[in-house]
Amino acid sequence: MDDLTARQSEPSESGSPRAVSAGKVELARLFLKLGFTAFGGPAAHIAMMESEVVRRRSWLSREEFLDLLGAVNLIPGPSSTEMAIFIGYRQAGKLGLLLAGCCFILPAAVIVMAIAWAYQRYGKLPQAEALFYGIKPVIIAIVAQALWRLGRSAVKNRTLAVIGLGAVLASGFGINPLSVLFGSGALMMIGQAIRTRPKGVTACFAPILGAAGILPAATTGEAVAATAFSNGALFLFFLKVGAVLFGSGYVLLAFLRADLVEHRHWLTENQLLDAVAVGQFTPGPVFTTATFIGYILGGPVSAVVATIGIFLPSFVFVALSGPLVPRLRRSPTAGAFLDGVNVASLALMAVVTWQLGGNAIMDTFTLLLAMGAAFVLIRFRINSAWLVLGGAVLGVVARLIHSHG
């Protein structure tokens, strides 16, 4: 069975046994494949990982996966990359952590470097409109199905349902995502503390308030004087970004514009927008935007420097926090906090999916494609990567037919 060791494992902290444990070769193979095929941004990446490691391979239970999802939303850095690193750590320890993370990042980084080379040589990005015309509706179907499956495990009672609805509304009104996460967790934590030890409410709530107040502030970029380009300065800049950045690619855009365009003057506005676009339409982590920027600033060496800088903090954060997640689940009060964060995480994914759906489903063809992909996912245990590739082919064919019609 290759390096996949099929064996019965001990019951997880959630009480659900994991059917199999991953071997290192199988772990590397899975995340290399995802690195080449995981289009659509962090929500889609996480949905594809859930399909692979929970539904198809049974490496984790849904409850364990949800706990990891809550954890990656509470630490800085790219959430889907940190989810890959967490899964690797849970399956094969520190070596698995490195294998899963590097295998997920490497394909995207190589693809982005190739695009950056073409960009430098020809002065424009390759046209990919037809390709993504078919991919986007499939991604929406994949994320929606994952939300449905995970939601049934996360919403354990009416209180969590109400908190999840409140998180959706708060996110829809533009409340800071980290505030939504910490606020949801804090509400559940207070409720648990009231039920178990009323006098300890203030003590247990204070650290949450402190974190909610401090961490969002860390995402504000500092003014930096214009400096000459160097690989050392490039590495330190992206290391800082990877260490403090919460939120989506749009938050990353704000960081990059404030520092690299306005203060350091290393990039033009157009170069920055092209870099962010490349991170959005290539598979794998959106943070490979840093790879593109490094390449256009200093060639292949700078691309590697920037990539290592922005992703290195994620490996450190997961290595430090990985052992704490099971311990949190064993504590009733901390477990309640994690339950609230898990529901809020799904609420944020739902809002992003709704917003992206407006751009992805634009006509009858894309609507039928999304519905067909959803049906196939529900009816058959098909690998979501094949659906993504199938959507790409159908999108190209549809555009060709339209252009010749």
pLDDT digits (tens, 9 = 90+) for 6-46: 333 444 444 444 445 668 899 999 999 999 988 777 878 88
The residue among 83 and 175 whose pLDDT is bigger is: 83
Predicted local distance difference test score (pLDDT) of residue 15: 42
**DSSP 8-state code for residue 286:** G
Predicted local distance difference test score (pLDDT) of residue 253: 64
pLDDT digits (tens, 9 = 90+) for 348-379: 778 877 876 877 888 899 999 999 988 988 88
Predicted local distance difference test score (pLDDT) of residue 228: 81
Q: Is the pLDDT of residue 147 over 70?
A: yes
Taking residues 210-228, report their average pLDDT: 46
pLDDT digits (tens, 9 = 90+) for 227-255: 688 999 999 999 988 887 755 554 566 66
Predicted local distance difference test score (pLDDT) of residue 212: 45
Give the rounded distance of the alpha carbon of 29 from its chain centre: 19
Predicted local distance difference test score (pLDDT) of residue 21: 61
The residue among 142 and 3 whose pLDDT is bigger is: 142
Q: Which residues pair with 5 in a beta bridge?
A: 21
The average confidence (pLDDT) of the chain is 79
Q: For residue 285, give the nearest of 61, 145, 77, 4 by alpha carbon.
A: 77
Predicted local distance difference test score (pLDDT) of residue 303: 96
Predicted local distance difference test score (pLDDT) of residue 277: 66
| Alpha-helix residue ranges (DSSP H) falling in 22-157 | 24-37, 42-50, 62-74, 79-122, 129-154
pLDDT digits (tens, 9 = 90+) for 293-344: 999 999 999 999 999 999 999 999 999 888 877 777 777 877 788 788 778 8
pLDDT category at 220 given cuts 50, 70, 90 is very low
Residue 216, H or E segment: helix 201-217
pLDDT digits (tens, 9 = 90+) for 185-196: 888 888 877 776
| Alpha-helix residue ranges (DSSP H) falling in 322-331 | 324-330
Give the rounded distance of the alpha carbon of 180 from its chain centre: 17
pLDDT category at 205 given cuts 50, 70, 90 is very low
**DSSP 8-state code for residue 21:** B
Predicted local distance difference test score (pLDDT) of residue 216: 41
